[in-house]
Amino acid sequence: MMNEINKILIANRGEIAVRVARGCHNCGITAVAVYSDPDRTAFHVRVSDEAYPLDGITSAETYLVQEKIIEIAKSCKADAIHPGYGFLAENAGFARLCAKNNIIFIGPSPEVIKLLGDKLEARVAAIKAGLPLAPASTQDIEDIPKAKIEAGNIGYPVLIKAAAGGGGKGMRIVNDEDSFEAALKMAASEAKSAFGDGRVYIEKYIARPRHIEIQIMADTHGNVVHLGERECSIQRRHQKVIEESPSAVVTQDLRKRMGDAAISIARATGYVGAGTVEFLVDEDLNFYFLEVNTRLQVEHPVTEMVTGFDLVKEQIRVARGHKLSFTQEDVVQRGHAIECRIYAEDAAAGFVPCTGKLAAYQEPAGPGVRIDSGFLAGDTIPVYYDPLIAKLVTTGRTRETAIKRMIRALNEYIVHGVDTTIPFNLLVMENESFVSGILSTHFIEDEFPELADSLSHSEEELEISAMAAAIIDYKQHSKITATANKRAETGSPWKLSGRVSGLRKVW
C-alpha cells in the first residue's frame, strides 16, 4: 500500500510553512504554497515551487477555508496536503474532506483526530491504555449535586475543564465547595459559547506542575516509537515561550515510563504519523496524562536537534506508506537543545502583539544555532495572524553550553521596527531558577511578578484588541498607498488600538 507523493500543498503560512517546504525538498517533493493577500510576497511563498492565492485577508477568509484549499490542491494536482500546526491541523472534518477528494492528509486518520480532540474521550482511551491520570470525574457533568459530591471526593482544589477545550481554554480552578456551583455554571456556559459544546469535567488540580510532553511517531506497519521528551513549562496564557530537550528532571527511568505510556495510548487509538502526548509532572515526579496533540508541534525542532531525525521527512515517509526510517533502539538523545520563540510582541506590556515592518532584520548564526523563521528583512508582520517571527534553537553537549549559545545568539539578533520577545528571553536565560533547572508552569508569574497584572488580560480583551488592531490596519491600507511609511509614523496598530494604554514598561 504505497502512496505516490510527488507534490505537497502546504496549507499554512509563516515559519512552519517554510519548515514543511524544506522537508518536501529534502525528499525531492514539489512544495506548493497558498497565500492570503498580505502574504503575497512572504518567505513561505518564495521558498515554495508553486504558489496560489487564497484571495482574502483574514484567516477565516483564507487559510481556514477548506474548499478553497482542496480546490487548489486538485487543480495543481497535489498528492497530499500538509496542514502544519494551527489552522486546519487538528480538524477531523478537513482530514475527511481530503480523503473524499483522494488527497492524502499528512496526519492521523479523521477518526483518531476526532477521538483525541474530545478531551473526555481521550481520557477514557488513556485509562483503557493504562496511563496514569489525575483523579477526575468519570463523565461529563449533568447534575450539580452529584458533581459537588464528585468534587468533594476528588478533594479541593479541583480544576474544571471543557471536554472540547484543550490547550487550557475554558479551564477554572475551584478552591472550595462554596464557589463550586457558580464556577461550574460559568465554565459550562463559556465552553458552550466558545466550542458549541458545554460538556465539562472535573480533575484534581495539580499544584505547580511541569509540562513535559513526549514526541511520538507511528507508521502504517504497526511501528510506534517515542523520541523522548520536551519540557515546555515556561508559558504564559497557555502559550509556550521556551522549550527544551531533554528536561532537567527526566531520568532515563522516567523517560522510559513516560515514553511507554505515550506509545500505549498511540497503539490503543490506532495513531499514525507524528504526535505529542502531553503530561503534567508534579513535584514528586509523578506524571499524569493531559492530552494528545495530533499535529507536528511548534517546538518539534528541539527533538530534531537532540535525536538527529527530520520529523517532516518521517511524516512524509509514513504518508507514503513506508516504514519509519528508524526503530526505538535507534533513538538516542544526544546533548541538549533549547528553543526560544521570537514573537513580535511587547513582553513588558504583557506580551501584546507589536506587528509592523522589519525595518532591519539579521538572524544570528554560528556553532549550535538553528533558526526556523518565516520572514525576511523588509517584510511586514501582518496583524491578522500569529505574531511568531522565528524560533531560535541552540544546541550544545550540555544544557549550560546551549544556554550560553542562546545568550550569545539572542544578543546577536538584530530586529528593528517591531518589539520582540528577545529581551524577555535573555532575562530568562540569565534567571537563576532557569539556569538551575527549577521550572513550573508558574515560572513567569513567579520570576517576573511585575508582569502579573498585564498577563491577566482576559481572552475577551485580547480578542477585542486584535479586532481593533485589524480595523486600524485595514484603514491605514485603504487610505494610503505608502503604508510602510505611514506605519513608521503612527507605530503599531496594536498600540493604536489602545490595548497597551495604561500598561507600564518594566525594563
Specify whether 499 is catalytic. Answer: no
Using DSSP bridges, classify how beta strands 7-10 and 30-35 pair: parallel, antiparallel or unpaired.
parallel
The amino acid at 99 = A
- Binding-site member from 291, 314, 345, 346 for ligand MV4 (CB under 6 A): 291
CA 82 to CA 104: how far, in whole Å? 9
**Interacting residues of 444 by C-beta distance below 8 A, sequence separation 6+:** 234, 235, 236, 241, 451, 455
The binder of ligand MV4 chosen from 43, 87, 94, 205 (CB under 6 A): 205
Bridge partner residues of 166 (DSSP): 169
E strands present in 87-199: 104-105, 158-162, 172-174
Q: b/e string for 25-40 if b means 16 or more Cβ within 10 A?
A: eebebbbbbbbbbbbe
Site residues (CB under 6 A) for ligand MV4, limited to 8-47:
none
Closer CB to ligand MV4, 53 or 157, in the complex: 157
Locate 72 and state its grid cell: 487548489
Of residues 12, 62, 420, 441, which one binds ligand MV4 by CB under 6 A? 441
159 binds ligand MV4 (CB under 6 A): yes
- Using rule CB under 6 A, residue 172 touches ligand MV4: no
Q: What's the min distance (Å) between Cβ of 92 and ligand MV4?
A: 19
191 binds ligand MV4, rule: CB under 6 A: no
**Under the criterion CB under 6 A, does residue 276 sit at the interface with ligand MV4?**
no
Instruction: Name, in order, each residue with C-beta under 8 angstroms of 100's C-beta and a sequence gap of 6 or more.
Output: none
- Give the dihedral of Cα atoms 140, 145, 150, 154; nearest 10 deg: 120
Q: Which is nearer to ligand MV4, 206 or 406 (CB)?
A: 206
209 binds ligand MV4 (CB under 6 A): yes
Given the residues 236, 295, 487, 499, the one annotated as active site: 295
β-strand pairing of 104-105 with 414-416: unpaired
Stretch that binds ligand MV4, among 12-20, 201-209, 292-300, 354-362 (CB under 6 A): 201-209
What binding mask, one character per residue, do residues 224-253 give for ligand MV4 by CB under 6 A, x or -?
Answer: -----------x--x---------------
* Choice between 36 and 441, CB closer to ligand MV4: 441
Cβ closest to ligand MV4, residue 455 vs residue 468: 455
Tell me how long the chain is: 507
Residues annotated as catalytic (active site), given as ranges: 295
> Which residues contact ligand MV4 by CB under 6 A?
134, 159, 166-168, 203-206, 209, 211, 235, 238, 278, 280, 290-291, 441
